[in-house]
Amino acid sequence: MANVQLDQVRKTYENGHIAVVGATFEVQDAELLVLVGPSGCGKSTLLRMIAGLESVTSGTLSINGRVVNDVAPKDRDIAMVFQNYALYPHMTVAENLGFGLKLRGASKADARTQVGKAAEMLGLTEMLPLRPRELSGGQRQRVALGRALVRDPEVFLLDEPLSNLDAKLRLSMRTEIAKLHRSLGTTMIYVTHDQIEAMTLGHRIVVMRNGEIQQIDTPMYLYDKP
Ligand code: ADP
Ligand code: ADP
């Protein structure tokens, strides 16, 4: 269970650049919210603030009522998947999936169970003993998703996770992500510059431009008045 609240959230970088201006919206529990807008409009900055990877300059950003910047990193129950997922080349898929759990001190038995579950969910069971170079691009991106899933996060953040894949693969992975969201039932925030991706994936869509939130609507409604 997790909802995310933003109230007049603003980000000014140290060089004075204002990347996010007065963002106010709420992401409901189990919702798949898509943040869409052209490159450079502030999407990643906003996502990184939600992840606690970037400080909030002013305004309030909280998850389940707790201000993100006040929560110690180890207590944050958030996972993030990036566009440039770096898998460990010398480790097997199983080891790649289990690595974060080991770092967090999970027992070997628990790690095994979690890794097995995530692999099954993503169709990676047969690939567990393989190394990244033996996988296709889509399979690798699935391992990157799996690495985030094994932790069973309350909030799942995805930053342009499909933009390195070819068009065909992007389409099938999009469907997989929607399915994954349905079976996990976690709160997901998905960032993309691709409007079609936004329309097909989002329950609601937040449209950003020049650091500002321009519109928040369901895909149907956005489609009616482009
Ligand atoms: P998007 O994800 O929509 O492409 P970003 O959030 O990455 O946009 O960037 C928003 C703006 O903030 C851009 O103009 C970018 O150049 C700037 N920016 C991003 N990171 C930094 C930083 N660390 N320092 C200064 N400016 C930054
Ligand atoms: P180590 O080499 O440190 O003993 P292992 O190779 O046993 O670790 O496993 C690395 C990680 O991957 C662990 O988290 C383990 O639980 C998980 N793992 C390994 N093989 C499998 C498998 N076949 N199914 C599920 N999880 C596995």
3-state DSSP of 41-68: CCHHHHHHHHHCCCCCCEEEEEECCEEH
Distance 57 CA to ligand 1 centre (A): 14
pLDDT tens digits along 89-128: 999 999 999 998 888 888 999 999 999 999 998 889 999 9
Q: Are 192 and 39 contacting, i.e. CB atoms less than 8 angstroms apart? A: no
Ligand 2 pocket residue status of 94, Cβ below 6 Å: yes
Round to whole Å and give the CA distance between 113 and 59.
40
pLDDT at 30: 95
The residues, ordered by sequence, that sit 6+ positions from 80 with a Cβ below 8 Å of its Cβ are 47, 51, 53, 148, 157, 158, 159
Smallest Cα–Cα separation from 4: which of 32, 23, 33, 27?
A: 27
pLDDT at 224: 59
pLDDT at 223: 63
Tokens of 48: 């990184």
pLDDT at 173: 87
Smallest Cα–Cα separation from 64: which of 182, 185, 154?
A: 154
Round to whole Å and give the CA distance between 67 and 15.
25
Ligand 1 pocket residue status of 209, Cβ below 6 Å: no
Best residue for ligand 2 mutational test, from 90, 110, 115, 120 (most atoms within 8 Å of Cβ): 115
Q: Are 142 and 119 contacting, i.e. CB atoms less than 8 angstroms apart? A: no
Ligand 2 pocket residue status of 182, Cβ below 6 Å: no
Round to whole Å and give the CA distance between 169 and 19.
31
pLDDT at 1: 81
The residues, ordered by sequence, that sit 6+ positions from 221 with a Cβ below 8 Å of its Cβ are none
Write the residue with the smallest CA distance to atom 27 of ligand 1.
13
Ligand 1 pocket residue status of 50, Cβ below 6 Å: no
Q: How far apart are the first and last CA of the chain?
A: 33
Identify the segments of the chain with pLDDT beneath 70.
Answer: 223-226
Exposure letters 72-107 (e unless 16+ CB within 10 A, then b):
eeeebebbbbbbebebeeeebbbbbbbbbbeeeebe
Ligand 1 pocket residue status of 39, Cβ below 6 Å: yes
pLDDT tens digits along 137-159: 889 989 999 998 888 899 999 99
